[in-house]
Amino acid sequence: MSERVKEIVPDLIEAIRNVLRKHKVTFDEYRAGFGYMIEVQEAKEIPLLLDALLNSTIVEIENETRGGTRADIQGPYYLDENYPSVTDALAVRPEDADAEDMIIRGRITDLTGQPVLGATIDIWHSTPDGLYSGIHDNIDRKYYRGRVVTDSDGRYSVTSKTPVAYQIPNQGPTGALLEKYLGRHSWRPAHIHFWVRSEDRRDLINQAYFEGGDYVGDDCCETDHLELVVPKVYENGKRVMQVNFVLEPAYAIAAE
């Protein structure tokens, strides 16, 4: 890592310096930028700001070397400890009982079309009113998060409640940058996050979107890797999100 730091950081600093030079940034402007960074820190929005602005570029770079299903951004709200282990249902917050039911299911195969069994898939998404458990409003982290494992045919299936288009907290500095200072919006299309892991295969972080949903293709986080836009299908009143993944071998990374 330290070799990479020596390679990357001087270039990064020089790139920033060139922007400062190009725009002849003044001392007052420099201090204003400084103040903005402190606001971001105080609002605990460093992960949100970085992921909103830069995660899509990391994904773009990663996808240059990917076979199988392309990756999408991770976003700031994955919780990596004590991930609730579930078989067939994500925990639903009691007050969301009347929200639309959703089934997330699919199949994982390898590049040759063979099923990938025993893969774990960490799934996380917002409440039906656009909040993340463990992050916002003291919602217990057990809700809308869970790990499923694929069966011998590579299949998984889990029930939950349909999330909505998600507005990143727009009262904070990240929302202010997008909306007030840059004149953009701060919405993401409704989405479900996935982190797929299987021994000897390259990890895949991905998201599924809802066809026809608001902001699909107009994401404030500038993802345009909309490979997983799922058609509007209902089964017994439940929205079915059929999300399949194709995993490539782990050595594909080393082989670059």
Chain residues binding ligand MBD by CB under 6 A are: 48, 51-52, 73, 75-77, 166, 168, 188, 221
* Complex with Fe ion: residue 75 or 146, whichever CB lies closer: 75
φ/ψ of 243, rounded to 5, equals: -125, 110
| Nearer residue to Fe ion within complex by CB, 209 or 245 | 209
Token duo for residue 141: 């982290």
Closest to ligand MBD by CB, 77 or 150: 77
CB 122 within 8 A of CB 191: no
Nearest residue relative to Fe ion (C-beta): 75
CA distance linking residue 100 with residue 71, whole number of Å: 27
Query: Which residue is nearest to ligand MBD, using beta carbons?
Result: 75
CB of 220 to ligand MBD, least distance (A): 8
CB of 194 within 8 A of CB of 121? yes
Could you say which of ligand MBD, Fe ion, none residue 48 binds, taking C-beta under 5 to 8 angstroms by partner kind?
ligand MBD
Give me the helices (H) in the chain, please: 2-22, 27-42, 46-63, 173-176, 251-254
Residue 102 Ramachandran class (φ > 0 left, ψ -120 to 50 alpha, else beta): beta
Helices (H), 97-243: 173-176
247's contact among Fe ion, ligand MBD, none, with CB below 5 to 8 A by partner kind, is none
CB of 130 to ligand MBD, least distance (A): 9
Cβ closer to Fe ion: 76 or 173?
76
Distance of CA 147 to the CA centre of its chain: 16
Three-class SS of residue 136?
Answer: coil
Taking the complex as a whole, the smallest distance from the CB of residue 193 to ligand MBD amounts, in Å, to 6
Rounded (to 5) percent helix, strand, coil in the chain: 30, 25, 45
CB of 218 to ligand MBD, least distance (A): 14
Would you call 143 helix, strand, or coil by DSSP? strand
Beta carbon of residue 228, minimum distance to ligand MBD (angstroms, whole number): 14
By beta-carbon proximity to Fe ion, the closer residue of 116 and 123 is 123
Rounded CA gap, 153 and 175, in Å?
Answer: 43
Q: How far is the CB of 187 from ligand MBD (least distance, A)?
A: 10
Give the span between the Cα atoms of 229 and 184, in whole angstroms: 23
Residues in touch with Fe ion (CB under 5 A): 75
Indicate which of Fe ion, ligand MBD, none lies near residue 168 (CB less than 5 to 8 Å, by partner kind): ligand MBD
Judged by beta carbon distances under 5 to 8 A according to partner kind, the member of ligand MBD, Fe ion, none in contact with residue 192 is none
Q: Decide the pairing of beta strands 120-124 and 145-149.
A: antiparallel
| Residue 93 binding result from ligand MBD, Fe ion, none, given CB thresholds of 5 to 8 Å by partner type | none
Q: Tell me whether residue 77 or residue 245 sits nearer to ligand MBD (CB atom).
A: 77
Give the residue with the Cβ less far from ligand MBD, 107 or 188: 188
